[in-house]
Amino acid sequence: MRWFVAVLLWDSRIGIGFTRPEAARAFGCSDGTIYYWEKGERHPRPSEVAQIALTYRLTEKVRRYLKMILERKDSQRIEADPRLHALVLSKAELHSGFIFKYEPNLIPGPLQTRDYHFGYTQKAEGTSDTDANEGWTFKHGRQVGIGNRKDEPTIQYLIGNSAILGLRDLPLEAAIGQVNRMLADQDRSGVEIRVIAKFHRGRNAPFEIFKPGGSRTAPPVFVYSESLHGSWCIEEDALVAMYDGAGQAMWQLGIPLKEFLDEHCRDLLA
């Protein structure tokens, strides 16, 4: 995950309005060191993370995650709490040219409305009000970031049929609002949403695939995967190929969202 370190350091420096020379003075290093950090050709030492976090005003969560990645910088498979890996996903969503997201039981985060997040996701995940509020702030920021991209990445959302049918557990107005949000997103160039109802052995757990596509600032190909006992960001070629093959096969089994709604959920169409 070396690319994440480089992108995080670049974005953080720009975010506080520092030039490279100003950052170099703050860290007591050369301009060249900052340049190579942001190019991903060199990395800070884990012992330098505290000063980086202080200077760049990183949150405690980001500080911990950055330190963990630097300690494991040569690993091609990193396990962490999903809330920490969300930091990587948020950066990849801003830079990858191709994004595939499969979610079997929930509407994918970038497509969720506020009512769905608090009325369904919070209950399903059993989170506190504090965590749910923090989660929505972060999730909404990701939605804005994706929506503001000018390069029109290809984004494929594949949703399990149970997630769509589960909308009926919401008040009707909230369910219709969520459907309208998905249909509006699907109208954006490069975005397509399908629903999978048929069996495939890859259907049990959510996973995401990120590829460079035509983006010059994209990370290398990687997979994000969740299970009952953890979540991983994976760059190993063999595992990436396995997930990519499963994703392509499942995508072919998917039904376009509007077609699925017309057949199974006409009551949710405004």
Q: What is the number of structural domains in the chain?
A: 2
From first to last of its 270 residues, the chain has per-residue pLDDT tens of 788 899 899 999 999 999 999 999 999 999 999 999 998 889 999 999 999 999 999 999 899 999 999 998 778 899 998 888 999 999 999 999 999 999 999 999 999 999 999 999 999 999 999 999 999 999 999 999 999 998 889 999 999 999 999 999 999 999 999 999 999 999 999 999 999 999 888 888 999 999 998 777 788 999 999 987 889 999 999 999 999 999 999 999 999 999 999 999 998 886
Q: Which H or E run contains 231? A: strand 230-234
Examine the domain organization and report whether 222 and 197 are in the same domain. yes
> How many angstroms separate the CA atoms of 81 and 169, rounded?
28
Domain boundary among 53, 75, 97: 75
Examine the domain organization and report whether 39 and 106 are in the same domain. no
Examine the domain organization and report whether 196 and 244 are in the same domain. yes
Q: Are 258 and 252 in contact (CB under 8 A)?
A: no
Residue type at position 259:
E
> Is 211 exposed, middle or buried, given 0-12, 13-18 or 19+ CB atoms closer than 10 A?
buried
Domain boundary among 23, 41, 75: 75
CATH of the domain at 202: 3.30.870
Nearest alpha-carbon partner for 265 in 172, 192, 184 = 172
Domain boundary among 10, 43, 75: 75
CATH of the domain at 38: 1.10.260.40
Both tokens of 103, joined, read: 């979610």
Examine the domain organization and report whether 56 and 96 are in the same domain. no
Examine the domain organization and report whether 160 and 173 are in the same domain. yes
Both tokens of 93, joined, read: 């969503």
Examine the domain organization and report whether 28 and 130 are in the same domain. no
Examine the domain organization and report whether 125 and 59 are in the same domain. no
> How many angstroms separate the CA atoms of 80 and 176, rounded?
35
Give the pLDDT of residue 64.
Answer: 92
Examine the domain organization and report whether 134 and 252 are in the same domain. yes
Examine the domain organization and report whether 82 and 39 are in the same domain. no
Examine the domain organization and report whether 98 and 130 are in the same domain. yes
Give the pLDDT of residue 194.
Answer: 98
Both tokens of 105, joined, read: 């039981």
Structural domain boundaries enclosing 8: 2-75
Give the pLDDT of residue 75.
Answer: 86
Examine the domain organization and report whether 67 and 86 are in the same domain. no
Question: Is the pTM of the predicted complex or chain greater than 0.75?
Answer: yes
DSSP 118: I
The residues, ordered by sequence, that sit 6+ positions from 59 with a Cβ below 8 Å of its Cβ are none
Examine the domain organization and report whether 202 and 239 are in the same domain. yes
